[in-house]
Structure 1
Amino acid sequence: MSKFIGVLTSGGDCPGLNAAIRGLVRAGQNQYDMQFVGFLDGFRGMAQDRTLELNRKTLSGILVDGGTILGTSRDTPARTREMTDEIVATYNRHHLDALVCLGGDGTHKNAMRLKEAGLNVVTMPKTIDNDIACTDVTFGFNTALGIATEAIDRLHSTATSHHRVMVVEIMGNSAGWLTLGAGIAGGADVILLPEIPYDVNMISAAIKRRARAGKRFSIVAVAEGAITKEDAKVVAELKKQLAATEGEQERDQLEEKIRRLEGARVGHSVKLTQEIEEITGQESRLTILGHLQRGGTPSSFDRLLATRLGTACARMIHEEKFGNMVAVKGQEIVPVAIEEVANTTNRVPVDHAWVETARLVGTSFGDQ
């Protein structure tokens, strides 16, 4: 008998979402006699039962398109029982056999909530940050890496012509994979990551050393979630207080303080750029790439990866391996329990091979 499958995309958009939807639906229809309904604008759209039929017509030409034909939102059933109940009702109303959720960290938390509510859920890992646990890589990362690297390449021209320090802010709230990869590939002289707290004086010292060696420009690649050593110490102390605090109001206040110091902070890179200019005496300019990194045509790598994950997802549903994320392990695609993925972040290890490679070519991380 035919299986009826719901599909939604949630969280931030990224290249490869359409390719993954196409791979899932085409494999499911061609090989496993499945029928698909898409829910518009993520979990919000499913709660409101807003749908798009997924068939050959709606899939036509989407392989090379960025974004998602289903739309997306950041609404989260993990925080409201009411939305969870509405999603469950929609699931039952359409007589679904499974729900496929394509998304990142927040999506997996929501998927775990729906799994606990009794739904057959399967997920696919998407994010340009490459920070989803239990998978070697996420689709969207390769495309964004190419965009960020090209941006650094282009900034070299202005940096050399005007003898400037060019600071480029790259996405990465709690994990620095994108900044690290683009920084190495683009030849950045300084790379700043959330995982390696920095000292602006050490950054400036590295830039001054380059100037004394006759290098009249520098490139600084900074993740939006990079943190100073001073702030990192404060965060560590706040987390100790949080672990020892039982009162709900006090915990909320501590968590808010931690959030203000960790992750993306408005004006952080502006302040950093001003400090570098003041300490080094070199003209410094900031470029914030922002959402440019998430848009546009997906790379061939991401199209291939997303298609593989989509087809593997269809097979996993056929085999009734519910409650899992479709993960990449080496050359294999395997199921991993959603519980192992949710509430965990794949951060850059401070001794990772990429970090060692950068240090060996003389890149500063602002920590020594």
Structure 2
Amino acid sequence: MKKIGILTSGGDAPGMNAAIRAVVRKAIYHNVEVFGIMNGYQGLIEGNIERMDVGSVGDIIQRGGTVLLTSRSEEFKSDEGQQKAIDQLNKFGIEGLIVIGGDGSFRGAQKLTEKGYPCIGIPGTIDNDIPGTDFTIGFDTALNTVIEAVDRIRDTATSHERTTVIEVMGRDAGDIALWAGLSGGAESILIPEEKEDFQDIIDRINRGKERGKKHSIIIVAEGVGSGFEYGERIQEATGLETRVSVLGYIQRGGTPTAADRVLASRLGGYAVEMLLDGKAGRMVGIQSNRLTDHDINDILTEKHIVDLKMYNLSKELSI
């Protein structure tokens, strides 16, 4: 294999640029040409493809987002769109493709592989909701962004003796809420995977108030419901002044942490090795700090499982 392509798809995640850098430089080290595909699968269909060299990825390891840009493509979901993409890859002589993204991005890689075009997936999403890997690129950075916000909000909540509800990302997966809640000392954590008794939330707040606690922090994953609705219900039930903060897209941006840069670099390098070894239709990941790979078909049929031991621990620590 002498020419490979790389694209980012779906939501951006801090650390994607570190993965792009690793792919480009690892491939060039092995005398393989690399082509960057701009704007994800839509850019692939349109032939928005550029040859990359060592300098193309200079000074990007510390940058959030993705220099290749990203988009979602309805056209690519069709057989006609996929064939247009393959035609473009053949036009540029690109023999293998590395896709950085989440499960939607991997479905595209799966389709191309099924049509005889070798693809390797790298998990890049702040939600950490991809099975087959302990961590996805961007999760650690998003988590630290949330923790910084929680710590700042707590200062104000304490000064004004308020209860604060903080809504974080996580439509289908509660990892951000769970890890942020445990590391931020939240009184209650609401995640899509577990139903929380509302009265337990109120009881926990009241117990804290009785022992002189000046504030309460409630972390809500967006997939559970609106932070504002929970804020209104909590204020009604407790009579305590309650404020709501919705962190939104601030969680996606920012300089990637050292952990995300290292993870992205390792996964990017390993993805290149997989292609050069003739592998296809695989996703690279990390489990127990060891690089692993899994069939993308298995990844798309399995379900990410949240660590319920951590969830139960958070409840025990917030008595």
1:353 paired residue number: 309
Q: Separation in 2 of the partners of 1:106 and 1:154?
A: 34
Taking the TM superposition and a 5 Å limit, the aligned residue runs for 1:63-212 are 63-76=61-74, 79-212=77-210
8 Å contact kept, 1:8–1:70: yes
**Residues 139-191 of structure 1: CA deviation (Å, up to 9, x unaligned):** 11111111111111111111111111111111111111111111111111111
Structure 1 residue runs of 5 or longer lacking an equivalent are: 228-267, 364-368
Structure 1 length-normalised TM: 0.84
8 Å contact kept, 2:15–2:264: yes
1:299 and 2:252 aligned = no
Q: Separation in 2 of the partners of 1:37 and 1:207?
A: 55
8 Å contact kept, 2:163–2:241: yes
2:24 paired residue number: 25
Q: CA deviation at 1:78?
A: 6.3
Q: CA deviation at 1:215?
A: 1.6
Q: CA deviation at 1:52?
A: 2.6
Q: Separation in 1 of the partners of 2:222 and 2:301?
A: 21
Q: Separation in 2 of the partners of 1:270 and 1:281?
A: 16
8 Å contact kept, 1:4–1:97: yes
1:282 and 2:280 aligned = no
Structure 2 residue runs of 5 or longer lacking an equivalent are: none
Paired residue secondary structure (1:334): strand
Q: Separation in 2 of the partners of 1:167 and 1:343?
A: 34
1:3 paired residue number: 2
Please, which of 216, 219, 223 is the counterpart of residue 218 of structure 1?
216
1:335 and 2:293 aligned = yes
Please, which of 249, 263, 266 is the counterpart of residue 308 of structure 1?
266
Q: Separation in 2 of the partners of 1:122 and 1:154?
A: 40
Taking structure 1 as reference, are residues 78 and 48 closer, same or farther at Cα in structure 2, changes over 3 Å only? closer
* Percentage of pairs with the same residue: 38
1:324 and 2:282 aligned = yes
* Counterpart amino acid of residue 110 in structure 2: M
Q: Separation in 1 of the partners of 2:45 and 2:291?
A: 30
Q: Separation in 1 of the partners of 2:213 and 2:52?
A: 56
Q: Separation in 2 of the partners of 1:21 and 1:76?
A: 24
Q: How many residues align?
A: 319
